[in-house]
Chain A
């Protein structure tokens, strides 16, 4: 599986935008980029995914570099409820959709 690299932790102030980076320099042409987040003592929650183009949904935006070797999850206005571990995961097309979780980025949001 292609590997992703994320910072261990990040901090943000409430109501401010947050940019969570992810490097995936060995990504293959058919790998999708998925983001999940996990709140304390809960199962992961789907955030967003994309292939080549930038994506927006009600939770976040995903900006994908032109060479696809990196991506950034953007939370437009962080709230205390966004404090979680954010995982950037590559999923190969046509597999049984196994998700391999890395260590993720622990996001702290402060008032």
Chain B
């Protein structure tokens, strides 16, 4: 069965609004989760590392004030795209790392379309 869930699976929003995407670890507690973005026909690009109880670590070029990450519990991390614009339209994927191992499990992804 699924190890990681994401909600919603698909969302359409208007330009200027904010959208929250949830990533849940279903089978185990995870102190570390990762957020990726994937544009059509391109590879996954890591956006940030989400750490439970502390601030997320963002990759170079990713605006932390635009992509707000909250990892409030050992099973939930959220990514909020603030003031979304059409260029933010993408496939957002989270992954969960099993604590004590280097195994990563990916969620099914959330397709965001900003009109």
- Residues of A whose CB lies within 8 Å of any CB of B are 32, 36, 38, 41-46, 87, 91, 96-104
Interface size, chain B (Cβ < 8 Å): 24
Task: Find A100's partner among B46, B93, B97 (CB 8 Å cutoff).
Answer: B46
Alpha-carbon distance between A37 and B50 when the two chains are bound, in angstroms: 23
Q: Is the interface of B mostly helix, strand, loop or mixed?
A: strand
Contacting pair A32 B102 (CB below 8 A): yes
Alpha-carbon distance between A104 and B42 when the two chains are bound, in angstroms: 10
Q: Is the interface of A mostly helix, strand, loop or mixed?
A: loop
- Residues of B whose CB lies within 8 Å of any CB of A are 4, 6, 32, 34, 36, 43-46, 49, 57, 91, 93, 95, 97, 102-109, 111
Contacting pair A43 B93 (CB below 8 A): yes
Contacting pair B105 A46 (CB below 8 A): yes
Cβ contacts under 8 Å, A45 to chain B: 106
Give the one of A38, A45, A46, A97 with max B CB within 10 A.
A97
Alpha-carbon distance between A13 and B81 when the two chains are bound, in angstroms: 42
Task: Find B46's partner among A38, A44, A99, A103 (CB 8 Å cutoff).
Answer: A99
Contacting pair B46 A98 (CB below 8 A): yes
Cβ contacts under 8 Å, A100 to chain B: 46
